[in-house]
Structure 1
């Protein structure tokens, strides 16, 4: 008679709804029928039934590679044996199976024939084996002859995995333990929502408007249903329940819920406008970027300790800084108070002051700057720039730099900056000291000679942005940027420029430029659309005009002595220039010049100001 329990145990387990139809561990009086195939020598006997140990081993699959946990099928030669003999029953030649953690934090524990024993007996045997570790058996139930429950800890799952067939029960049989990476099936219905609601009610503190959902799935009132908040559908159902019953929630504790993906939590900002305290410690949040769906929450306190994202930072100060970038109002992180954030103490709804096209450090310099620019660019845009000799200091210096925009098309002829690149003193590229010296123009003759060789231009005076940053009796510093067109180049390409003038008094009582820095590049599409918006499309060179006389104060109209009234010819010239730059008809242009005593730049300034305020009627532009 076979030894009790020594016969093969065929396992028929496939899933949660299957069970073992037959328990053959009970003695049977029937005679086992065994047949042997005769061999040529009559010595070897071959079993025809399956090895029960192999059947049980093959049923566990934790994601290992194919063939792991089985006897090797390769040739084996034992002592006195031969090739292709069956593997020995000892541990030699057996690949030891390893526990491999799954991607989900939940594990299904299956105890075949576990229903033959009381629940307490099975659990006590398992707890005794893995002691001092303890576990909570979630959703324990019997399925046919098997007992099934779940654990939510990978370490516990591994210990139970290694308990397979190592626990001897009172009836002498070894307990079989099967571990699978699986999550209980869920169906969110009205009954489940009601249980969640009652559980949340006892966890809510009305005095502080705080809801504690720490390890929510392990709550004693939820032992019969799977209610893990790391499942998005369960979390969203919980959020709906909270929003319906606690719309003014201020603090929420989601610690130890195995949260990893947070994309669905973007809804928190729209559901809870007053949520300022959020605890998410001891979860599985992998990266700081995973918190992006929560950035719109006005959090003042956040708890993240115990998440993998914290361990990615080797510098705690950088960790605090990066978290604060996402939550600027944060005052407490991981239980520690943060130093006050550096910022401006202003109300949230305070708007910034309106943008100014120009800035004047001293309003008293407005007239002088306006008159200087009018006079300078009238000469610069004329046929001859030689008159600029009187505008520069005897020891003046000028440097020019130029480069292309990063997104322009250099192959377009109109975009090529050949005239400027060849003389560019870009110190990031020109590293040789001698070349840097050669590209720096020194003395008024070199400066004006260099400017005269540049392409002829027409500047958009109304598009200038001027900043007067230094205004003292000893020095004036102004920076400006704007747009101009090249008048003697095919296609009349537009260029963007930035210029810095350093102006000092001269010996004759006037002013002159001692340092001039020019930067030229291509225009953007937006700049091209706005350039010369109020003037004529085709630029025309300005009429020749002499430069300021030695000792004269810049600002006086070209060719006109200080305090003298312009003659009729010069009035016609000013009238044509104003009409071209503003687009106004002759009648309105004359009125504008008369109101400003025939000061062209002042007239343009006033026009620009009135037009921005919408005070110039449409008939002013009817010609």
Structure 2
């Protein structure tokens, strides 16, 4: 396979090297260079070597123009990017470019592997396909010429491709695959399982894809994480829209959509939007804590800004020598009065959403009593809102299972680009609940029976009570009380009812008598 065909005359090729270019995204880097280059160019064989980025061009004029771009581009850290230009041999993918008959056979082979209804292309174990082996064509996708030829056929013949399976191809790098971002941006499902990928960094080369499903199991990189939550967090940093990883459903990010162009308006005493803002915050808190208590806190990634901060504190009494019942929280507590080591005080401040969600993931599993929440919005501008929530929760696992805690949480949020709340600062204070708080936690109080109570409800509320009574088996007055306690949110009322029923906290008299 691959005769020594050389495009261009000897000496017409140039190698372009960007030192430290390995830390830059390919699309951003190439676009930045093109924007500063006086002539258009097409990078050939773009790839990373250790910490460098390299590609080739075939024209002395282009090479000269690229040399002039050196030190004219600054990255996000305001560091100037240097570009080295040197004469080169013909690039590998050009020198060993597949012959027309080889391309045609590869195309026929790929056509057989394409599902037109699912818009899916199955290229697993491509090298061992009999249609290629019988024609003595060796397609090794780690070779840039083979991957380039494969992507060229995909671009020309499967423009609406949604699913691509590249499993079991012994891939150890994704340099060649990076061109798929521009060539076939429609791909939503990618299977890279059972390859030889060692570093998550390789995924940065294709993070421009808006993937919804990704398979990585069977790659060495999967064994480099201490736990599943850290693994999921790292992959979702590359692909924020990911819904499934290795066949596992991921929790959706917490977002709250609104219709107004600005989330937060200047505060006025008679401002008509205050009810809308109140509703928005309460809905956000409900979704946040339902996700927080779900057992998989990875779904909270979408609620935080990339550079958000989080801190946790617990009470500190220097005279209290007894071991604290809050020991699961004490190791993360950032109380300045207790910590003598300034380095540790800084280290305990969680910075970036990934670190925050990882920190939240190791805290005890909980169940919050949403009906106990007291919410206060105490500062707002057009671009920032500060609010706090007080309430109680109980731990549902571990040696402190059943323990009731009280908490205060302060959020500072800004509008996000997708018209949702975005947390930039999160402070959590946890303490032991008082006996009164413990006694009242997760309890539904018996309503005072009023014979005409249904008559003061709207028609919609009466229908909700009837429906809730039918589904829960509770009497009408108990169903009404449960809905009222949860502000007529039918879904939340159902979740609270199910939780309390499972714990045996609803008395028998609340239920209808079965004849």
- Do the two structures share a fold, i.e. TM-score over 0.5? no
The alignment's TM-score, normalised by the length of structure 2, stands at: 0.35
> Larger C-alpha radius of gyration, 1 or 2?
1
**Greater per-residue helix proportion:** 2
